[in-house]
């Protein structure tokens, strides 16, 4: 299988190159040239498979022989062996045909583990085969950094440097990163805010001459194709658990960069009967305004109690637009220029096509707190703020009460104690048992100034792999 760029300016690429590259050289995102499509009979025959066996069925056609099937199976098995729930992605019923799929049983308690556990093993495998080593550099405001570190801590061909804004991430989030004491894991607490960290990473990608000979930077951010690919699996998993493919299922997805919900869109295109995909946003509601009013105009970012959704321009939305515009790369390049300049208008045809499958809803902090409180009171089930926004959107957007509606629970409530306490929960929600000692563990991180020479020479001197 070959991969093409959403901006149309790149020759078709192979799977492994796409995984290593991240962003396409023309500034676009990679998508498969042609999607695999499964028949209803084939999907039905997967009922009863383990999560790992199902993942192998779905991921294989995308890898398309680039990795021998046995090796791919091992990579998948290793990736999900770190999950603390036998069902990997268990479903909890919260009402009539209303379900929550818990995607937070991985090592860092957020759904990003589904993709990053796999991506770490996959990268290491490809690098070993090629006799190459890379340096991963990333900036984090919280969740992604810890999931990336957990994904790479045992990789022999990768050093990972994660920058977080000094004193500006929560104690749980910082400790999830800084208590990983592997020699190839490097935490930098940089003076400044998240944007300063991100700008430092961008500048370093633009000029990599600070790295020793033969090393290059790699990114594991949310536009990496392999992350999207791994996330397709749990849509099939939920459907098969709830009577699919004979029966349609709907999903509500707490959305930031649009990676998670885009995986659901791909599942639909690959033959899975999905009735609705609900885009749930917080007060940073540009995607909701876009789908409901064709208003994709940027506004100042607001800090919310669901910080992983505090995003202005959702990078993976471009992948959907590419399909909505009949894969016209030149049109997408123009649109993305508009979006960057502050305002993008979708064509009537594109909007109409999108609305056949997608609906959207905005839930602000006050609404979110209310949902956590009422669900906890009614059923003793405690949700994290992102999940609560998803559930609120699910309830508002449901078109059909006979179709199971699954809200994706993207994080464990213990990661966001402030929001949970706002909802009237009396204590800090408890961390799961395997993390109960998080606050007793030794931390390791280095505080650096927001200065390019300082950060880059630190990286150059500390490469271990
Ligand atoms: C990353 C994240 C999201 C947003 O997911 P996208 O794929 O960026 O849309 C939602 N909730 C949590 C808890 C997250 O960590």
pLDDT of residue 171: 87
| Local confidence band at 277 (pLDDT 50, 70, 90 cut-offs) | very high
CATH of residue 386: 3.40.50.1100
Answer for the pair 30, 318: CB distance below 8 angstroms, yes or no. no
- Indicate whether 316 belongs to any domain: yes
Cα 168 to its chain centre, rounded Å, is 21
CA separation for the pair 79, 56 (Å, rounded): 12
Closest protein CA for atom 2 of ligand 1: 308
Domain count along the chain: 1
- Residue to substitute in 109, 110, 234 for testing ligand 1 pocket (most ligand atoms within 8 angstroms of CB): 110
Per-position DSSP letters for 143-163, written without gaps between them: HHHHHHHHHHTT-TTEEEEEE
- Indicate whether 151 belongs to any domain: no
- Indicate whether 265 belongs to any domain: yes
Closest ligand 1 atom, residue 104 Cα: 13
- Indicate whether 55 belongs to any domain: no
Cα 422 to its chain centre, rounded Å, is 26
pLDDT of residue 80: 97
Compute the C-alpha angle 216/222/224, nearest 5°: 55
- Give residue 257 CA to ligand 1 midpoint distance, Å: 7
- Indicate whether 312 belongs to any domain: yes
Catalytic residue among 2, 57, 78, 112: 112
Closest protein CA for atom 11 of ligand 1: 410
pLDDT of residue 311: 86
Q: What is the arithmetic mean of pLDDT over 249-258? A: 97
Percent of the chain at pLDDT exceeding 70 = 100
- Indicate whether 390 belongs to any domain: yes
- Per DSSP, helices labelled H in 64-193 are 69-80, 112-130, 143-152, 171-178
Of residues 226, 245, 305, the one with CA closest to residue 55: 226
In the residue annotation, 340 being an active-site residue is answered as: no
pLDDT of residue 147: 95
Residue 344, beta-bridge partner list? 296
Ligand 1 pocket, CB under 6 A: 110, 112, 143, 222, 254-260, 308-309, 386, 410-411
Domain with 257, as residue range(s), is 88-108+226-422
- Indicate whether 70 belongs to any domain: no
What is the CB neighbour count within 10 angstroms for residue 216? 12
- Indicate whether 289 belongs to any domain: yes
Average pLDDT, the chain: 95
- Give residue 309 CA to ligand 1 midpoint distance, Å: 6
pLDDT of residue 440: 94
Q: 3-state DSSP call for residue 74?
A: helix
Residue 136, beta-bridge partner list? 160, 218
């Amino acid at each position: 299988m070959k991969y093409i760029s959403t901006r149309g300016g790149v020759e078709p690429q192979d799977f492994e190159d796409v995984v290593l590259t991240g962003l396409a050289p023309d500034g676009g995102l990679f998508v498969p040239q042609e999607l695999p499509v499964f028949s209803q009979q084939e999907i039905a025959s997967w009922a009863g498979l383990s999560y790992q066996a199902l993942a192998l069925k779905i991921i294989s056609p995308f890898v398309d022989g680039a990795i021998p099937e046995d090796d791919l199976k091992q990579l998948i098995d290793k990736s999900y062996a770190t999950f603390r729930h036998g069902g990997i992605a268990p479903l909890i019923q919260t009402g009539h045909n209303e379900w929550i799929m818990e995607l937070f049983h991985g090592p860092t308690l957020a759904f990003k583990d589904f993709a990053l556990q796999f991506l770490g093993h996959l990268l290491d495998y490809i690098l070993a085969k090629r006799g190459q080593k890379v340096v991963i550099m990333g900036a984090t405001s919280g969740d992604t950094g810890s999931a990336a570190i957990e994904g790479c801590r045992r990789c022999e061909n990768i050093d990972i440097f994660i920058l977080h804004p000094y004193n500006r991430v929560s104690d749980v989030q910082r400790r999830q990163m800084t208590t990983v004491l592997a020699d190839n894991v490097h935490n930098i607490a940089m003076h400044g805010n998240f944007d300063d960290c991100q700008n430092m990473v961008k500048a370093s990608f633009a000029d990599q001459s600070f790295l020793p000979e033969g090393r290059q930077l790699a990114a594991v951010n949310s536009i990496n194709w392999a992350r999207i690919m791994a996330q397709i699996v749990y849509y099939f998993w939920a459907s098969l658990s709830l009577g699919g493919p004979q029966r349609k299922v709907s999903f509500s997805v707490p959305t930031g960069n649009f990676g998670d919900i885009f995986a659901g869109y791909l599942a639909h295109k690959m033959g899975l009967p999905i009735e609705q995909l609900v885009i749930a946003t917080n007060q940073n509601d540009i995607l909701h305004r876009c789908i409901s009013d064709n208003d994709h105009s940027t506004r100042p970012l607001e800090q919310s109690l669901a910080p992983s959704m505090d995003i202005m321009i959702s990078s993976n939305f471009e992948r959907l637009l590419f399909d909505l515009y009949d894969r016209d790369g030149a049109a997408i390049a123009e649109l993305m220029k508009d979006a960057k300049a502050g305002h993008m208008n979708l064509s009537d045809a594109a909007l109409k096509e999108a609305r056949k499958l997608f609906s959207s809803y905005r839930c602000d902090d006050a609404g979110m707190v209310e949902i956590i409180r009422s669900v906890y009171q009614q059923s003793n089930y405690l949700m994290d703020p992102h999940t609560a926004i998803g559930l609120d959107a699910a309830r508002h957007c449901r078109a059909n009460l006979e179709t199971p509606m699954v809200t994706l629970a993207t994080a464990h409530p213990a990661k966001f104690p402030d929001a949970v306490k706002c909802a009237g929960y009396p204590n800090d929600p408890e961390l799961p048992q395997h993390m109960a000692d998080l606050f007793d563990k030794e931390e390791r991180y280095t505080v650096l100034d927001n200065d390019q020479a300082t950060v880059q020479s630190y990286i150059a001197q500390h490469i271990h792999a």
